[in-house]
Chains A and B, each alone.
Chain A
């Protein structure tokens, strides 16, 4: 066999070995479990109804930083977190932040009674089929997702947040155009 052909075959063999073997050794993902895994992806937008029974969707909030909080009335940490969410909503409304409470799986009456009992003024959405809970891969409840002005998930949190943590979470997306 002449030397040129031998070299050609050797190089081709190396290339083929790479084609065949590389896909078999894929590095495991470092993608986190739960809602954090959605950071950097477009936030899912479902057609839901608000506390007044009106159709609503995340699309209406494009251009604002959205703090989406999944909650339920039976969840004590949700109850504890609600006043801070209301405080955030009041303090940041004029700065382009919208807080939305998404009730997971409960009747509108129950959700509304709960929100009223705590003096909540931000919008409450009724997610009867628990779509957001499923798509955001909530590990528990409450779960909070921060969505930037372009509808991309900026950060996500499992468990209740303090007011300071909420402020820190919206600071980044607010500083970006």
Chain B
């Protein structure tokens, strides 16, 4: 009996740990799940002797419930560890709705973007079977997954002609074609350095120009442009022609909010923080809660003693 009273709560604790501390690679390792499965089997086996030795039906039911409840929770843990998809980060353009098949739902990314240095990132909304979950600063458990925001630096670009008349920005290779928000998902090595910096590209079709944008941290920007007085992050714009041939003297560093003039274009970069959503698999909350309840019920049944009927 003592083994069961130790192993059942231990199984629950291990699986609860997967929910409280989600996203560890450990949970998907084969050996971890073999150990968890072994723990379940040992828990069930440890219930056999006390089950046989128990006298009353109530005690027997209690012992069976303790073992069964632990098995429920443990099974949820093993199923999540072996069958659930790996963690993934979903990056969406502002205003985009991204279907995530692993989650069986859609993530709606907000159109508004918060300033890099002011305000909290706006909520992303997850919709599944008509049920809406808002994912803000704190992580949200949606049953078998935990969703949480990962703030990322994005760049809102404005392009204008030499007279200041705004021009359409497109992203032929981006997640959203008609978006002026660069998600900076790629990384580019800067020649003669060990720096791999966030990089993106866009087109200004009316001017027949393609533009590369590389994001620098404040420190990197200061190193690159020591006399420029750069403070804070900056974006390096490089303007190419439509066939991606670099144009002479068409590279410039733009501070946050600064307009630079390159090859007849006025380009402005505004830096923002914008959420991506990371999802990590966790054991089914329903199954683990059910398992915990059954275990608790089992302990209760086992501990309750019926007072013997008074002798007459």
Q: A107-122 vs B: 1/0 string, CB under 8 Å?
A: 1011000000000000
With A37-B97, A105-B166, A109-B165 already in contact, the answer to whether A21 and B79 are too (CB < 8 A) is: yes
Number of interface residues of A (CB under 8 A): 44
Contact residue among A12, A24, A139 (Cβ-Cβ distance under 8 Å from B79): A24
Is B307 in contact with chain A by the CB < 8 A criterion? no
Is B177 a contact partner of A140 (Cβ separation < 8 A)? yes
Is B178 in contact with chain A by the CB < 8 A criterion? yes
Q: B52-65 vs A: 1/0 string, CB under 8 Å?
A: 00000000110010
Is B141 in contact with chain A by the CB < 8 A criterion? no
Is B99 a contact partner of A23 (Cβ separation < 8 A)? no
Bound-state CA distance A13–B165 (Å) is 67
Is B176 a contact partner of A28 (Cβ separation < 8 A)? no
Number of interface residues of B (CB under 8 A): 48
Is B90 in contact with chain A by the CB < 8 A criterion? no
Is A74 in contact with chain B by the CB < 8 A criterion? yes
Interface of B is mostly: mixed
With A130-B169, A134-B93, A134-B95 already in contact, the answer to whether A75 and B103 are too (CB < 8 A) is: no
Which chain B residues have a beta carbon within 8 Å of chain A's beta carbons?
Answer: 51, 60-61, 64, 68, 71-72, 75-76, 79-80, 83-84, 93-97, 99, 101-104, 106, 111, 143-144, 160, 165-170, 176-181, 205-206, 283-284, 286-287, 290-291
Given contacts A16-B291, A72-B206, list 12 more A-B pairs with CB under 8 A: A20-B76, A26-B101, A72-B168, A74-B206, A105-B168, A107-B165, A131-B111, A133-B177, A134-B111, A134-B179, A137-B176, A138-B177
A-B contact pairs, 7 of them (CB 8 A): A16-B76, A23-B104, A24-B80, A37-B99, A106-B206, A131-B95, A141-B178
Which chain A residues have a beta carbon within 8 Å of chain B's beta carbons?
Answer: 1, 5, 9, 12-13, 16-17, 19-21, 23-24, 26-29, 31, 37-38, 44, 70, 72-75, 104-107, 109-110, 128-135, 137-141
